[in-house]
Structure formats: structure tokens, C-alpha cells
Structure 1
Amino acid sequence: MSSGERKKRVGNRSKGWEEAGAEFYQESYPGAACEVDIQQALERDPSKLATLLPSKKSRVVTTTKRVGHEPRTTLRRRTSTRLRYSTTTRRQSTQPDANASMLPDLSENLTNEKKNWEDIMQIKALPICMEQKKALKRHLQNTTTIRLQGCEQFKFWCLQKWEGLKTFLHQVYSKMGLWNSSLKHIGGNFGMGVVAYFLFIKWILFLNLFLFSIIMIFLVLPTILLEFPADDSCITANGTCCSSTSVNSTRNFEIASLFHGGHLLENTVLFYGAYSSSTYYNEEKNLTYKLPLAYVFVMIAVFAVSLFAIVRWAAKGFKQRVVENEGQLYHYCNLIFGGWDYCINNKKAASTKHLALYKEMKALLAAERFEDERLNRTQEDSFKLCFIRIIVNISVVIILLLSGIGIYWIIRLSFEKVANQPLKMVYASIDAKTVELWFYEFVPYLAIVLLNMVIPVLFNYLITLENYSPTFVVKLTLFRTIFLRLASLIVLLYTFYMKIAQSKDNDDCNNSKKPLCWETFVGQQFMKLYMTDVVSQFFLTFTVNLIRASVARSTKNKVIRYIGRQEFDLSKHVLDIVYLQTVCWLGTFFSPGLPLIAVIGSFLLFYTKKFFCMIICGPSKRIYRASKSQSLFMLILLICYILTIVPVVYSLVKMTPSKSCGPFKGLESSWTLLVLTYQQLPAGLRSILSLFSTFSFAATAFLILSFLLYYYNAVASANKNMVQVLRNQLVLEGHDKQFLLERLSAFIKVHQEQTKYQQEHPEFP
């Protein structure tokens, strides 16, 4: 081609338009180029989308330094290997397989029948609705599975039968279990927080039943079945046999003395004085049973089992309680999305629950408003409030002191009136004098019960003047009420001690100022206190409270309805049960039959509280969560348990036993029996036991416990950090889902636009 023709063609081309390529329409800014590169990369390798997730990008910061130190050849080698792997394909088989249609489709990732059965068993725990659970179960049942063979098939058959047996036994227990239908009915009307209270009563009942079983096996049955030698040891004082005096003083009582509170049963196995200080010995079978030693170990076992039961039951709700505390920054979300109780099954309870949720959110807003007001208080307002709180606390202390003094003088008056009466003559028949004596015997415990009901009402009024937060109001009121009830028990114990310790130097068995068998006397007083409290609650529920509720429902007067309306105050009712259990623990050493009385009392209180909850009062406007309520119960019970240990241990170690009765008569203290038993042990065993009391063992044990404490503290800290990492990972997973949804939305939008464009312009494929 000549140069002239070439120039002419170039000139003609420059005068017109020429067709532009795709690069002409490409935007020149870097973002669009990167977007196109990403799209092209995703078309070649869709798995690269994972590198664009926010969770992957967040790890670049932590891995940049590590990757930066690696040699460049390593990166190149990894890249080339990845590309080579992505472009490598497996050679397809050219030989036809005639039986290919008979083989299962391995692309379906078939599972064996055991894994499929386990998936079906786990459907029940999934947080989905029932329809989805049924659909998922039908899908799994219709899924093709691989059958197990040989030994695996036999193991799987045994596992199915065992799980079926456990399910059957659980169903039988749920149908035959104590109060299960009542608990379901209560939960359907009041929620699981109130059900937790009735489960607490049930737990107390079974705890006392187990404690009495221990006492029954190791103390009551040996006393009844074994023939102990006659206790001829007569500890004399001024020529009087104390044992015979104690036995003769409780004989010839009539049936009327049964209502007295224990005198007819004084020499039975319900009380301390009925147990012998002798040792059973059978020469033929070479069997020895020391009842005094068994008495000490049984009492230690009672308190050890109680502590173990409290800790074990408290540990059940610990994890859930921790999880709830972790989410305390999201009160409103927890109430709205997780506050509903799905055990409620009627409209009235549902409307009450709605109102309770409303009140709870209102209380949270009030707490926030209170916190803002507290931060914005002036110095003058703070001074006035501090002065008011000081006055109120002084008033509370004065009320507690006056209550204690009143209980002390009432008990002294009761003891004086009863001590001046010849019991044998008074209880021979029921007359005015007998009724008067009954009144004086029970008036201290009636006074204690009355104070426990009246004083908390006064505390509730006084705390409104202190301007505390709503949460702190509940805790402080609960603390003051606990202190009131424990203070009444402390005054009662002090009065017993003063009566027992008086005329200590006078060893005359006929000393009228001191009970002949003071352990049985103390056991009788605790049994009277327990029975008085249970009977008073029963009487108030079915008389006073029922009349109040009936009057409130039958009138339209707002004032009368306000006075007669009653709510189920969970804190008050919990204190009633804990108080009774504290009395049971205090009196078990002096009255081994008191746990049996506590079992009967718990059984009656369950139905009494159920009647009060279902018939008399309305649902509480305050929300009670099951795990939170359980933690509250166990905390109060543990505090009372610790305070109960002190007087029991003191009486076991320091108090001189009665000379007329009991397994420890003639000893300086009950603990002396353990010392004498220790001295009778073989020398080798004594040296081993003495090793545990040395300073070297104590120091070694302290160091080991310190290391264990440090180890578990480190593990807890690591777990806490891991929880934080997992929480952050959950947040990133949420970002990943949002990113993928945005990508999916963009892809669907582009696809719809392309489809629409093709429909409008069919000439352009």
C-alpha cells in the first residue's frame, strides 16, 4: 500500500465517529475500578467474597505485622499454589458405570441413623415455634440415612432403650410428683417467680425429711430396737438421784397435757432427754453401738447436709444469674423481648403480666430519674436527707431495742407464772386455771409472732422518708426484717441461757429455778415457737385475711377496697419459711424430732400459702424472676444458717449437760465425749489425726488452697476474656450478615434491572 492511500484512509477515519470499547465507558476514579476488579474476581472465584466480610477485615490489623515479617517468596509460593489448586480439575472417568443409578447420591452428605436420631432428640431444646419443630421432625424422619452395622447397631439399640426408659420414668415422676399439678396451676396464674417460692417450700420439706431420716436411722431406731443396759449411773447431789427424779417428774400426766406443748412427750424420742448415755454391746456378734457418740455425729451430719444442700441448690441458678447480670445494660430490651412468662395460660393472668411489665418499665424510668436527681442534689438537700436518714435509723434501732426488751420481760413473766404452778395438779383436768397456764406458756411466742407481723409495716412506712432508690428500698426493708426476726431469737436464747445458768453452783436436782433437764426444756420451747408460728399463719390466712378479701370484693368503696386488697409479697412469705427453718435448725440438737414437725409444718404451709395466693390476694405488680428469686432465697437461708451455727456450737462445746438425762450426763460438755473417744483410739490413728492439727499441716493446706484459689482466679479471668472475645465475634457476625444482605440486595437489584432491560430491548441480548 502506497503512502498516499494510507494518509487518505487515516484522514477519512478522523473525520467520522468510531466505535468505542468497553474501556471508554469505564469510570476513571479508583473506587469504581476496585469495584469492577471485585466483581471480576468474584466471577472467577466466588469464595473470595469471604475476604470482604467485616469480620475478616477486622483481623487484618492483628495479622499485618505477622505477615509483614514473612519472606516475599513464601507469599508468592502460597499465591501460586492457591491459583494452581483453583485451576486444577480432577480427570473425569470415561468408563461408564452401569450400576451408578443404584448407588446413593453422596453429594447429599448422608448421615447415619444414630446422628439422625440425636438430631431428632435435640429438636425439643431448639428456640423455635412448635410448628417449625414438627416440620423439622418430619423432615428428619423422612431423610435417607445410613444404617449402622454390627456392634454399633447394638450400642445404638441400647441407647434408644435407655433414653426411652428415662423418658418414661420422668413422665411417671412428673405425674406422681408432689404438688406438680398445683405448681402448674400457680405458674399459669402468677408466673414462674412465684412458683419458685413454692418450689422452695417443697425443697425445705424434702430437706427436713432427709434430715429426720438420718436421725431416724442412727438415733431413733437404735433407741427403740436395741436393748441398752440399764443406766444405773446415779449422779447424786445432796443424796438425791437426778435420773430417777427426772423420770418421776414426767409420769402420771393426763391426756390434757398433750395440748400443753410437750410435757406428755417429754420422755419420748422427740426430745433430748429420752436418749441413753449407755453403750449397746452384743458379745455374740461382737457389735458395739455408742449412742452418745452417734448423737454427736448425727448432729454434725445434719448441719453438714444442710450446708451442702444450700450450696448445691444455689449453684444451680448461678450460671443463669450471671448471664442475667451481664445484660443489665439492656433492661428495656430484656423486658420487651424476654420478659414474658409463657407458662401463663389465662387472660386475667396475662393482663396482670402486661401490667407488671408496664410497672417494671415505669420503675426503671423512676430509678433513672432518681439517679439524675441524686446527681443534681444541692449541698443543702443532701444535708437534710442525711439528717432524716440518721433520725430514721435511730428510730429503727430504738424499735428493735424496745421489741427485744419487751420479749425478754414477757418471757420472764411467763417462766415465773409457770414455775409457780404445780404442773401435776394443773394438768389433771381442763379448767380455768389450766387455760390460764396455757396462756402464760404460749404468750412469749404469740408476742414474737405479733411483733414479726406489726413491726415490718412500721419499717415500710419509715423507709419512705429516707428517699432511697426502689431497688435499695426492697433490700434494706428485707435486711431490717431479717434482723428483727433474728433479734427475737437472740433474746429468746439469752433468756434460756440466763434461766439455765442461774444457780450454777447449786447442784441440787430439786432446784426449782433451773429446769431438771434443760436440753429437753429448750427443745420444748423451740417446738412451741414453731407450732405457734405455723398455727398463727394458718389462723390469719383463713380468718382475718379471708374476711378482708371478701369485704374488699363485695364493696365498691375505694377506701375499703384499698384496705382490703392484698398482694402476694414474695419477700415477706420467704422470710416466714426461712424463719421457721432457722427455728428448726436451732432446736434440732435439743429436740431431734423437730425436723419431723417441720415436715408436717411445711406440708400445711404449702396449702395455706396456696390458698392465700390463689383465693385471697391478687397477683403482685412487681416482676419476680425465677433465678433471681432462687438466689434471694438461698442468700437469706445461708445467712440464717451461719448465725444458727454459733449457739449450737456453743452449747455443744461450752454448756454443761444436764445431770439427770441425755446421752452426755456426767460430762463437762458434749465435746468432752469426742476428746475421750480420741484418747481411746490406737496410737497410730491418733498420730495421723494429730497431724491434721499441727502448724505445718495448716501452713501447707493454706499454701495449697492459695495456689488453687490463684489458679481458679486465673481461669475465671481467662474465661471472662474469652467471653468478651466471643461477644465481639457475635457482633462481627452480625455485621457479616448485614454485609451479605446488602450484597444480596444489590445483586437482586442489578439482576432485576438487567431482566427489565432485556424485556424492553429484546434486540440486544
Structure 2
Amino acid sequence: ALSTRDRIQAIRDLPMSFKEKKHIRWVSHKQIKMIRKSFSQTLKLWQGAMKSIGGKFGTSVLTYFVFLKWLLMFNIFSFLVNFGFVTIPLLVYKGLEILTGAGYFKYTVMYYGSYSNESLVGYNMQLAYFFTIAVYMVLCGISLIFSMAVNFKDNYVLADSASNSAWQLLCTWDFSVTNEKAVKQRRNNLCVQLKESLSEMAQQDLVIYQQCRVFIFSLHTVFIIIHYLYLFYVLQQATENDNWSLLEEAKTLLVPFVVSLINLVIPLFYSLFNKFEHYSTHRKQIYALLIRNVFLKMSILSVLCYYWMSKVPAKGSGWESMVGQSLYRLVLFDFLFLMLGSFFGEFLSNVIGTKLIPRMGVPEFDVARNVLELIYSQTLAWYEPYERYIRHFISSSSVSVSLTHNCQPPRRSGRAAQMQTIFIFLLFFPFFVGALSIVAYTAWSLTPSKSCGPFRGLNNSFSAVDVWIGDLKNITGSQWVVEIYNNVIRSEIFYFLITLIILVIIYILWQVTNGRKELIRRLRQQIVNEGKDKSFLLERLQDLQKSIPNKNTKQKKQKGVCCENYFMLTSLCM
């Protein structure tokens, strides 16, 4: 008997054509490719959970988790960099320091004041701090713009607006699915998509006066919130005490508590008010809630930033660490209230709707409120980038559990493929643009503390670059850097040209996009015309086929008449 190795070698030595060997090699490569693809699918984050959520709750709810997954990938680099700034301080905290961010945390690398202005051997701390923040904000902006462009191309430019329910029913089924659970999941997903498509075609638009009423109500609510926030900060400033104690330290938790409470309660009133309105589609209903919540979040952040940028720097040294502590408390309380709203809020709504007041029913998942919570927390993370990744990961798990146990699918369906682009656009403007403006204003206009931080002794943070350029003037071979800085970087013409080039590129891409749309429209019209031509030719062919038997019968009748006349004539002649 041959061994296994000998049998394999004997099989390899068998005579075989090159075509058969090529086919065997192609089959093996295809199997390896399928194994890699299935393995990569299993490694994707929440792949199975997102499929089940999309099949049960629809695409509008699914867009929230897609956006949350995108934020996790967006913040992974920052998480790796800042992980060391969090773990060690959390192990050695004392008292209320874990809640207030003061005490021990004040002297750690988590805040601005602990950094030195000394230059280590071959390492300038001032430049490292300045350029790290600058490069990070620029990369965030580029990433957001690129993501917006990709989503806009997929959901608006390349989206097939002519696709209908018949196309979805006949052309979207994956016949390679053999698993029974996957087939049921795919069937449920297809049913939800058909409902969404039909609901958008069957409903009417909201009248204009109702839209104006909703807009006025939203503005009125925002103005009231701004007024009370401003009064709250005035009262806090008037009652501020310099004698620091445990009670005074606990009082610092009042501001983030009130802000987080407003962020939790007011959107619930918005959602309640939204139930009495009748929008044409579920997507428009979400957009209305988004606009209201955007005004709410922006008003809160505007008041907070005004207080931090105008009142806190006037208190003296160490104001950067004071702002950092305030941000720490705000981020922490916002996270706690988010967990409170996800678990207890939706759980209580479920209990009330099923046990106490069955008329209310099981609550639906509020996409607009939860998406704005993500955007709001990401905006705070740009100001205080220390725990965003852990926060998003924990919130995603809690929200998914609360969704499956406490919520029901939306009663009104609507296609929401284009909502992902809107979410990223809202994250970019006004939230990222606002955060970038605050960081730029702090670097160019505010005077750093004289007793702490890497920029102590400078007029502003940007002066560190001027000092570095001044040092480069004394170094031979570095004059070209100085010339570029003085003649290019500090020149208004340079930024004007960059802006002009960007606008030209945008215009060219816009024209290319419009040209492709026109080409697609003409090709579709050509397909329609060819179909009409074929149907016309088929009709003519059928008419011709119907007319041929009639001609044959007429010819036969004529031949019969001629024969009868011939026989009659012959009989008469005889």
C-alpha cells in the first residue's frame, strides 16, 4: 500500500491537459478567495447584528448604527494615542476627583497646565503640542470632507432614482444564500424595503403653515434655553467662592448636571411634539427633529464656549486646566445621562406603553435624538479628546440592547440611504467648523497662562512658531524654510490661491457629475426608445402574420370561382 504522500505524488504524475490543470488551479484560487471573503466578513464589526437590525427596524434605524460604526473607525487613532492618558489616572483617583476632574488630575498629562515649556534633547514641546493639535484637526476635516464626498456620490449621484418596487422584488434577491436563518433575514429586509418604497409614494406633503408653526416653536424653545443658561452662568459667577472645599468641589458638578438634564429632557419634548405632526415620509420627520436638536445643541455649546473663552481666562493663571476640568465634567455627565436615557428612559416607556397605558404602545427608536447625541459627544471630544472611543463603544452596546428589548419598528417607514450623508454633513458643519473656530481663536487670540503649560510666557500659542522660525534664522541651510514661512505661509495671496484652486476643482467635478447624469439620462432614454421600437416591430410582425392567412383564403376562393366558370363554359360548348 502506498503512503499518503506517494498517492498524492502519483496523482500529480497522471497525464493531464493544460486546460484541466488551469481549471483545477482556478477552482482552488476561487475557494481560497471565498474563504478570505467569509473570514473578512466575520471580522467586520457588528456585521450580523446590523443585518438583523436592518431587517427588523428598517434603514432609518440602521443608519444610526452605520454612523456610530463610522465614528468608531474615525476615532480609533485618537483612542490609541490617548489611552495612556486615561488608564493610570483612573487607578489612583481620590474622592470626587473622578467626577470633577480636579485634584490629582490637575497635575497629570490630561490637562494643558501639566505640560512644560522646556525643550528636551531634540524635542520641542511647544511645537509638538501645537502641531499635533493642528495636524489632527486638519486630518479630521479632510476625513470628513472625503467621507461626505463618497457618501454623496453613492447616495445622490449614483443612486438610481428610477428603481421601483418591481425592480427591488425581481432583481435584489441573493440566490447564493442557502442558510434558512439568512433567508428569513433577507426576506424580512426586502419586505421592509418594499414598505419604505411604497410609503414614500403614497403620502402627501406637509402644508406650509404647519412647517412655519414648527419652525417658530423650535426657535422659541431655543431662545428660552439660551436665556436660562445665561442666567445660570451669571448666578454661578456671582456666587463663586475662592475658598475651595469638598462642598465647593461638589458644586462644580451643578453646571454639567443642568446641561446634561436639558440635553435629555428637551429632545424628549421635541419627540412628543413631533407625534402630533403629519409629515409625508418618515425621513422628513427625522429631518425636522434633527433641525430642532441641532439648534438646541448649538445654543448650549455657544453659551458654554462664550463662558469658557471670555470669563474663565480673566480669572488668572491656570485657566486652561479649569476649562479642561469643566469639559471633563461635561463629557462624563453627558455619558451618564446618555446611559440613563437609553436604559431607564426607553425601559420605562416600554413598561408604561405595555402595562399602564396600552394606548401609547411600545416606543419607537428616536433616530434624530440619538444621532445628535453622537454628534454632540464627538464635538465635546474635539475639545476634550480623551475617552471618545470607549464612550462610543459602550454607548453602541447599550443602545443596541435597549433597541432590541424596549423598542418596536417604526410605524411609518421611509427609505433612508441618503441620511448617512446628512449626518456626516451635520458633523462637519456646524459642529466641526465650530470646534475648529474655537481652537483657532484660542491659539491666535487668547494669552496663555504665565505659570503653567508649554506656551507660558508667550503672547499666544501661535507665537511658538514665530520663535521657532527665529531660531532657524541662525542655522545655516535652513533659510529656505524661513523664506517659505515669511513669503508663503504668512501671505494672504497663498490662501486666496488655495481657495481659488479648491473652488475650480469643485466646479470641474460638479460639471463632470452633471455631464455623467445627462449621459445616464440619455442612455436610459435610448433604452426606452429601443424598447418602443422593438414593441412596434413586434406589433407590425403580428399584424403581418394575421394578414397572410386572409390573403391565402381569398386566393383559394378566386381559384375556386375560376374553376367553376371554366366548367360551366366547357359544358355549354359541348
**Which band: TM-score by shorter chain?**
0.7 to 0.9
Paired position in structure 2 for 1:544: 345
SS of 1:264's partner is helix
Distance change (3 Å), C-alpha of 1:339 and 1:690: farther
2: CA distance, partners of 1:212 / 1:701: 32
Aligned AA (1:715): V
SS of 1:568's partner is coil
Paired position in structure 1 for 2:530: 733
Contact 2:116 2:453 in 1 (8 A): yes
Of 384, 400, 425 in structure 2, the residue corresponding to residue 610 of structure 1 is 400
1:320 paired to 2:154: yes
Of 572, 577, 581 in structure 1, the residue corresponding to residue 369 of structure 2 is 572
2: CA distance, partners of 1:750 / 1:180: 62
2: CA distance, partners of 1:583 / 1:660: 26
Aligned AA (2:287): K
Paired position in structure 2 for 1:454: 265
Contact 2:101 2:329 in 1 (8 A): yes
Paired position in structure 1 for 2:443: 652
Contact 1:189 1:346 in 2 (8 A): no
Distance change (3 Å), C-alpha of 1:515 and 1:357: farther
Paired position in structure 1 for 2:7: none
The 5 Å alignment of 1:121-132 reads none
Instruction: Compute the displacement of 1:487 (Å).
Output: 0.6
1:292 paired to 2:126: yes
Instruction: Compute the displacement of 1:465 (Å).
Output: 9.1
**Unaligned residue ranges in structure 1 (runs of 5+):** 1-144, 225-251, 282-287, 375-384, 427-432, 503-513, 589-593, 757-765
1: CA distance, partners of 2:33 / 2:182: 28
2: CA distance, partners of 1:610 / 1:466: 27
1: CA distance, partners of 2:28 / 2:114: 52
With structure 2 as the length reference, what TM-score do the two structures score? Answer: 0.76
Deviates more, 1:166-175 or 1:607-616: 166-175
1:678 paired to 2:469: yes
Paired position in structure 2 for 1:105: none
Contact 2:168 2:194 in 1 (8 A): no
The 5 Å alignment of 1:191-230 reads 191-214=58-81
Distance change (3 Å), C-alpha of 1:179 and 1:269: farther
Contact 2:156 2:418 in 1 (8 A): no
Instruction: Compute the displacement of 1:178 (Å).
Output: 3.0
Distance change (3 Å), C-alpha of 1:662 and 1:165: farther
The 5 Å alignment of 1:166-315 reads 167-214=34-81, 254-281=94-121, 288-315=122-149
Contact 1:293 1:674 in 2 (8 A): yes
Contact 1:408 1:492 in 2 (8 A): no
Contact 1:410 1:443 in 2 (8 A): no
SS of 2:359's partner is helix
2: CA distance, partners of 1:584 / 1:724: 44
The 5 Å alignment of 1:107-146 reads none
Of 315, 324, 341 in structure 2, the residue corresponding to residue 523 of structure 1 is 324
Deviation string 1:645-677 (CA, Å, 9 cap, x unpaired) is: 111110111111112221111111111111222
Paired position in structure 1 for 2:254: 443
Paired position in structure 2 for 1:133: none
Contact 1:321 1:628 in 2 (8 A): yes
Aligned AA (2:117): S
- Bigger RCO (CA 8 Å, 6+ sep): 2
Contact 2:106 2:113 in 1 (8 A): yes
Contact 2:58 2:189 in 1 (8 A): no
Deviation string 1:584-635 (CA, Å, 9 cap, x unpaired) is: 11234xxxxx2xx111111110111102211101011233545312112112
SS of 1:612's partner is helix
Distance change (3 Å), C-alpha of 1:363 and 1:255: same
Report sequence identity in percent.
Answer: 25
2: CA distance, partners of 1:500 / 1:578: 25
Instruction: Compute the displacement of 1:274 (Å).
Output: 2.4
Find the structure with the greater CA-based Rg: 1
Of 164, 167, 173 in structure 2, the residue corresponding to residue 334 of structure 1 is 164
Contact 1:414 1:441 in 2 (8 A): no
Contact 1:257 1:263 in 2 (8 A): yes
Instruction: Compute the displacement of 1:406 (Å).
Output: 1.8
Deviation string 1:130-175 (CA, Å, 9 cap, x unpaired) is: xxxxxxxxxxxxxxx98499xxx79x97x98887666544433322
Instruction: Compute the displacement of 1:523 (Å).
Output: 1.4
Contact 1:266 1:520 in 2 (8 A): yes
Deviation string 1:411-450 (CA, Å, 9 cap, x unpaired) is: 4545666745423xx2xxxxxx5xx853x32222222222
Distance change (3 Å), C-alpha of 1:182 and 1:263: farther
**Unaligned residue ranges in structure 2 (runs of 5+):** 1-16, 175-180, 473-477, 554-574
2: CA distance, partners of 1:339 / 1:408: 55
Distance change (3 Å), C-alpha of 1:359 and 1:270: same
Deviation string 1:220-266 (CA, Å, 9 cap, x unpaired) is: 79xx9xxxxxxxxxxxxxxxxxxxxxxxxxxx984453343343322
Paired position in structure 1 for 2:569: none
Distance change (3 Å), C-alpha of 1:672 and 1:752: farther
- Aligned length in residues: 519
Aligned AA (2:325): Q
Instruction: Compute the displacement of 1:529 (Å).
Output: 1.3
Contact 2:199 2:413 in 1 (8 A): no
Distance change (3 Å), C-alpha of 1:750 and 1:544: same
Deviation string 1:657-703 (CA, Å, 9 cap, x unpaired) is: 11222111111111111122223333222223333244665666566
With structure 1 as the length reference, what TM-score do the two structures score? Answer: 0.59
Of 282, 301, 304 in structure 2, the residue corresponding to residue 492 of structure 1 is 304
Deviation string 1:375-397 (CA, Å, 9 cap, x unpaired) is: xxxxxxxxxx49x947x655544
2: CA distance, partners of 1:214 / 1:689: 29
Deviates more, 1:258-267 or 1:707-716: 707-716
Distance change (3 Å), C-alpha of 1:338 and 1:414: farther
1: CA distance, partners of 2:399 / 2:419: 17
2: CA distance, partners of 1:362 / 1:171: 35
1:483 paired to 2:295: yes
1: CA distance, partners of 2:545 / 2:241: 96
Distance change (3 Å), C-alpha of 1:579 and 1:346: farther
Deviation string 1:82-127 (CA, Å, 9 cap, x unpaired) is: xxxxxxxxxxxxxxxxxxxxxxxxxxxxxxxxxxxxxxxxxxxxxx
Paired position in structure 2 for 1:422: 244
SS of 2:164's partner is helix
Instruction: Compute the displacement of 1:566 (Å).
Output: 0.6
2: CA distance, partners of 1:337 / 1:672: 62
Of 365, 381, 387 in structure 2, the residue corresponding to residue 584 of structure 1 is 381
Distance change (3 Å), C-alpha of 1:276 and 1:192: same
Instruction: Compute the displacement of 1:472 (Å).
Output: 5.7
Contact 2:261 2:337 in 1 (8 A): no
SS of 2:123's partner is strand
Paired position in structure 2 for 1:45: none
SS of 1:266's partner is helix
1: CA distance, partners of 2:534 / 2:519: 22
Instruction: Compute the displacement of 1:183 (Å).
Output: 2.2
Of 656, 662, 665 in structure 1, the residue corresponding to residue 456 of structure 2 is 665
Of 424, 435, 443 in structure 2, the residue corresponding to residue 634 of structure 1 is 424
- Compute the RMSD of aligned alpha carbons: 4.3
2: CA distance, partners of 1:635 / 1:366: 27
1: CA distance, partners of 2:500 / 2:390: 47
